[in-house]
Structure 1
């Protein structure tokens, strides 16, 4: 029988350990619920007990109370920074260790801790010894990072204040320093290159990626000045055609990082969200990355519609191995260059097929609208319907591709078509009915919830709609028509695939 908040906190931690060891989503959810009950009981004895407060927030997040919990976290951070806590630094602290259910340096490990052979991906790690921060600073740092990870993506302004706070509390928090540096670079602020140079010189494990980011930063500043990049010994002046391009094809900047055990080519452009995020954090932010790891097995086949530079494509390739096949479909020229470069560099030509096309309901010619960030590029059928410049591209259907490939079994289909998911799905009717793949599709476009119509189309095929929870590692069923979810992506599952997901512990 527990009699102190510390004891209830320990009890909650033991339930959390059971959740980590559970084999099914039901067992994980039940263990999290018991952990939450323990931390609530600890707070009944002492409402200021910090370990119970922070662990309770994380448990509520795991159990689905996202928006309410984030606001509570912000309120708690404000309290910790008030005069009351400054006057009494021990308020809410009775133990000697930061006993939390998450490691502040590994908040996103469910989406980034894997690479070839299950080895660490080499992402940013803190090197500071915990003793360098006092107990209250450690909890402040933990809460700041928790809010940074869960309040928004690294390139979004909502998350930046918390990354800045984490970096200020602990100067050795390299991930926080990288986020601050890259945001400064994006704004052409001089502190950006300085921070990147310091990381590259002081931390050998981060040197290569920091140098890649620094190359991009310096190139970005040159472009800001509208000056071409030339070789140091070149005295030739840039021609008018070269102005604004940054460099000739011979001098084209190339950015490479390690991703999923592969040498991975990125767009040499800070406006690219993929480039920004992977250089900054060494992982992609969407939780469905982990879902794909749980679903895909060697020998399976997957299709990536709207592949961009291949964040999902090469994750798929790692999972399905040499005996599987990945079809990466993308219409944007710059992204296609990266896809092909990564495929060739890693000798994946037999397992990754790059297809230059848009995907829709009917084959034919359509028009590509290129935005500042390539992830937002979209397709229109009438070039006169938009004010932006367009480029004609060929559109195929999923059925057309599937039949041309000999009707292979498709196990996973990912669709990110910037609001055009419905035509993509309708153009794959035969394949979907025959293969019943697990389907991941975008639910948010231009700040609007767009997945409801896609869910209705898939319901006609007998699919059920789910939201993936990375902390529980499960798929939670939803009725999209009754309560449209606000998550970035949704997952559709046909009953034929229930055995696969059950074996993976997802349902």
Structure 2
């Protein structure tokens, strides 16, 4: 999902972070369109390290990557050997086997979940990846492996300020941790829920709404949810973490209230000028752009 934002470069100049925002994208397959951080990347405000084990998707990412993007073929999980279930629908390929009983509820997903190949893969823990020096924003779309990624990255995620992850309310894969387990892990790591970026619903079979098998009514299926470092307890956060959180909140999610709160905290620490709140408010009253 993309958003129109104020010129992020003006906000970056106000916040004066020490470096560009570091984005780590696990499961970077571009099947769902532009990444949530696309505008930030286009403005030159972040660097992206992406991981995608599907060869076709990786080739597409590498073919269009900019100097601020780097994509690798690693499957990120718990560091163990797994089987990659390559599905007819690229977006359903997973380290977990599709759950036929649950999928039967959603007829439109059944053909997409057909397993075309099973490939052994050596996975890597996030904490062990030498290619990652820092994480500010972690984006996850790994079809059921979210908990393995989060648990395998607790050390490096200690410096992160935001996690954007897909979660499942109805588990489509065998052994898939549901939303509650992801929420529990992220809270244990010091994050709090911030917003839903997208909520996906599915029609329960055999219902078809206006001929569209993918159009849901009320049944929750999945969501993209954003967690941020617990802003109610900011003492453990460094000044740089507050700057990065404010920039991400503003540029990626349009969470101007969260960005302002970070600026207030930075002012209280004498890490920003006393006029910074007013300067940010003035920026919010300028015409919007997509930069």
- TM, length-normalised to structure 1: 0.33
How far, CA to CA, are the matches of 1:111 and 1:324 in structure 2?
16
Cα gap change, 1:486 to 1:335, in 2 (>3 Å): closer
- Report what 2:145 is aligned to: 420
Confirm or deny: 8 A CA contact 1:305 1:328 kept in the other structure. yes
- Out of 75, 78, 82, which is 1:358 matched to? 75
Aligned partner of 2:189 among 437, 448, 461: 461
Q: Flag structure 1 segments of 5+ consecutive residues without an equivalent.
A: 1-109, 119-296, 471-484
Deviation of 1:468 after TM superposition, in Å, equals: 3.1
Counterparts of residues 59-458 of structure 1 (less than 5 Å)? 111=2, 299-309=20-30, 316=37, 318-320=39-41, 321-322=43-44, 324-343=46-65, 348=66, 350-362=67-79, 364-380=80-96, 389-401=117-129, 404-405=130-131, 407-408=133-134, 410-433=135-158, 435-444=159-168, 450-458=178-186
1:306 Cα deviation after fit = 0.8
Shift of 1:467: 2.7
Unaligned runs of 5+ in 2: 9-16, 98-113, 199-219, 231-236, 259-291
Specify the SS of the correspondent of 2:127: helix
Pick closer, same or farther for the CA change 1:498–1:307 going to 2, 3 Å.
Answer: same
How far is 1:361 from its partner?
1.6
Counterpart residue number, 1:83 = none
Note the aligned Cα RMSD (angstroms): 3.6
Answer whether contact 1:307 1:330 (CA < 8 A) is retained.
yes
TM-score by length of 2: 0.55
Report which of the two structures shows the higher radius of gyration computed on alpha carbons.
Answer: 1
3-state SS in 1 of match to 2:256:
coil
Match of 1:492 among 223, 227, 237: 227
Q: How many residues align?
A: 191
Contact kept, 8 Å, 1:437 with 1:493, in 2: the verdict is yes
What is the distance in 1 between the residues matched to 2:36 and 2:165? 17
Cα deviation for residue 366 of structure 1 reads 2.5
Take 1:303 and 1:398, find their aligned partners in 2: how far apart are those partners?
10
SS at match of 1:456: helix
- Larger helix proportion, structure 1 or 2? 1
CA shift, 1:337, in A, is: 1.5
Question: CA 1:387/1:356 → structure 2, altered by over 3 Å: closer, same or farther?
Answer: closer
The answer to which structure has the higher strand fraction is 2
Structure with the bigger RCO (C-alpha within 8 Å, sep 6+) is 2
